[in-house]
Amino acid sequence: MDELAKTTIDRIEKVFDVPAGYRRAHARGKSYRAHFTATGSANHLTKATHFQEGESEAVVRFSHFSPDPKWTDAMSPVKGMAVQFLLPNGKVTNIVGVTSPIFFAKTPEIFSEMLGVVKSFKKGKPSFKELVGLLADYPESGAMLTNIWKMQAPSSFATGQYYAIHAFYFINEEGQRQPIKYLWQPEEVDTLSPLDAISLSSGTFERDIEERVAKGPVKFRLDVILGQPEDPTDDPTKEWPQDREKLTLGTLTIIEAAEEAEEVVFDPTLVTDGIECSEDRILNFRHHAYQISHDRRTLET
């Protein structure tokens, strides 16, 4: 896994223009301090302390997905929202989401291979010819790859719906396991019109979120989707059926800038007692990739 993670990060550096000191994905972003108020509605499903009724501190980083921070805001239709909860025992746990419910590769090998095929990402999107080739070779990636062409970004970091994509397990006091998926819901969902997108100058999203937070807290609701036994827990290219039961775990209130959180590694596999990672190989691979990215970017500064 570690070797494949190194090769994959090398490939990202080859395909994209990644300046020294930056994350190898989601390079440009902005970090905030927040607090999370839990409803306690999933007490019967998980013993995780931050989901019991009450409040915990958190940091949040919003980002544009591109590994190249020079890409304009509109060139990165997928935005990220990474949240780190600070637990009472001094440990931390993360939920990392993007504005897409699915990922385009089922396994780390396929993700790495696809990066080897795409050569023109420096222009913002793969060429049409490369896209057709990828669709033929990786049919399970079709849903997201075709979406890249019509995907609309949210109009603001504050108006996106952020999906953690992978399944996790909630574990309760009796040791029972419930598959779940996380979803951050904004106060108001709003997308960017293609016309507005053209005229956006770089950094508009960062300026917008700064202004919003200065005026008052920006809030997100955290929901979990409860999986049924037939729902796949190992495949990030598949969404679960829309009619699955949802629970609201709580509300995140974003208060002020937190520059120091720019250093944080939001490793999605960093869970806590009461939560377990699923067997999804992409999820477990991310642990290695994020560590390598962190090691390289901190060595460079």
Active site residues: 26
Instruction: Supply 81's token pair.
Output: 């929202």
151 or 198: CB nearest ligand HEM: 151
- The DSSP result for 222-275, as a single string, is EEEEEPPTTS-SS-TT-PPPTTS-EEEEEEEEEEEE-GGGGG----TT---TTE
Give the number of residues in contact with ligand HEM, rule: CB under 6 A: 29
- Which stretch, 96-104, 125-133, 185-193, 237-245, contacts ligand HEM (CB under 6 A)? 96-104
Query: Is residue 236 at the binding interface for ligand HEM, with CB under 6 A as the rule?
Result: yes
Which phi and psi (to 5°) does residue 250 adopt? 160, -170
Query: Count of CB atoms within 10 A of residue 123's CB?
Result: 9
Q: Is 289 in the site for ligand HEM (CB under 6 A)?
A: yes
Structure tokens at 129: 């010819």
**Could you tell me which stretch among 172-180, 204-212, 251-259, 284-292 binds ligand HEM (CB under 6 A)?**
284-292
Decide if 253 contacts 219 (C-beta within 8 A). yes
Per the document, the length of the chain is: 301
Query: What minimum distance in Å lies between the beta carbon of 240 and ligand HEM?
Result: 15
Applying CB under 6 A, the span of 38-46, 185-193, 245-253, 283-291 interacting with ligand HEM comes to 283-291
Total Cβ atoms within 10 A of residue 3:
8
- Within 10 Å of residue 294's Cβ, how many Cβ atoms? 17
Q: Which residue is nearest to ligand HEM (CB)?
A: 80
Please list every residue from 163 through 192 that binds ligand HEM, using CB under 6 A: 164-165
Footprint on this chain of ligand HEM (rule: CB under 6 A): 8, 23-26, 29, 61, 63, 80, 82, 96-98, 103, 108, 111, 164-165, 236, 265-266, 282, 285-286, 289-290, 293-294, 297
